[in-house]
Amino acid sequence: MNSTRLSTFKQKSFTMESLPRPTSSTFRGKKEKVVFVVGPTGTGKSRLAIDLATRFPAEVVNCDKMQVYKGLDVATNKVTDAERRGVPHHLLGVIHDPLADFAAADFCHCASRVAKSIIARGRLPIVAGGSNSFVEALVDGEDAEFRSQYDFCFLWVDVALPVLYEFISDRVDRMVDSGLVEEVRAAFDPNDRDYTRGIRRAIGVPELDEYFRSGGRSAALMEAAVEKIKENTCRLAYRQLKKIQRLNGQLNWSMHRVDATEVFLRSGTPEADEIWEELVAGPSAVIVDRFLQRDENSVSKTTEVVEDHAAAVGIPLPAMAAAARLTL
């Protein structure tokens, strides 16, 4: 960016609230628009989706295969009412039969209907969740119906695995403190050892089976179960990351990788929220705004947008480039 342009931009009063607010006509054209927020478990996908939905007229569509079931809110890590901040959420806790089979085809059917209803109200669907098989089936399904109707923007929230693993371990401890064991105990069935169906597949449920069968009083079995939950959650995060990398590479989804590692390194500090805004929420909002405003046949200027945002919030451009690998 030349010095004249940078100086001119710095004189602007720039905030996320000053971004143009899309109306229903924003989403009209050859294709409707849908935003996807993906990433391994624990990286902040729900938080980012809600942040975006408070800045644009949008609603969130859950694509986590365990969170579609009603119940086990702690074990499945559902966003609370307070965390939703008034943002409408869809396909969250809608399957009441805990043993029902909710497959990718079911998700595609439901998500397509929900997306159409959201757009009909002049709002933007933001699909967020960790079940990348659901996302792949929706975007690259056999009939390609969804792809033929919608233009996509993919935001990939990433965190360095060693940092993410430590966060996951701490999060499991917090989940235990929040009533995970008691929640799963209430759903425990001593006559059923099958953990391959429905919500019983959720991490945190099969791992506690032996503890409950022993009478639920063994501290050693409890500790072993918690460690197994942490281990299996970390393995899930690794598999999800590899799946995202494959989707981004082989299927050429052109994801915008937003690096939230620094946020997690500063977790619990006063500046953590500010860093989230500067390196994750802010750049993501700029990307989504550009996506909504662009003509399908135009050439994106995402790099310039990121430069503008970096100048506006006072972040050195190399730091911004490190936080977000952007292609549009």
pLDDT digits (tens, 9 = 90+) for 99-108: 999 999 999 9
Q: What is the pLDDT of residue 320?
A: 43
User: Is 1.20.5.440 the CATH classification of the domain at 167-231?
Assistant: no
Q: What is the pLDDT of residue 227?
A: 98
Q: Which residues contact 280 (CB under 8 A, 6 or more apart)?
A: 44, 48, 157, 258, 260, 263, 323
Per CATH, the number for 3-160+252-325 is 3.40.50.300
**Segment (H or E) for 46:** helix 45-53
First-last CA distance in the chain:
19
Nearest in space to 293 (alpha carbons), one of 25, 93, 76 = 25
Q: How many helices (H) and strands (E) does the chain have?
A: 15, 7
pTM of the model: 0.81
Q: What is the pLDDT of residue 12?
A: 31
Low-confidence ranges of the chain (pLDDT < 50): 1-28, 296-328
| Domains of the chain by residue range | 3-160+252-325, 167-231
Give the Cα-Cα-Cα angle 52, 34, 124 (nearest 5 degrees): 55
For residue range 285-323, what is the model confidence (pLDDT) as tens digits? 999 999 999 754 333 333 444 444 444 444 444 444 444
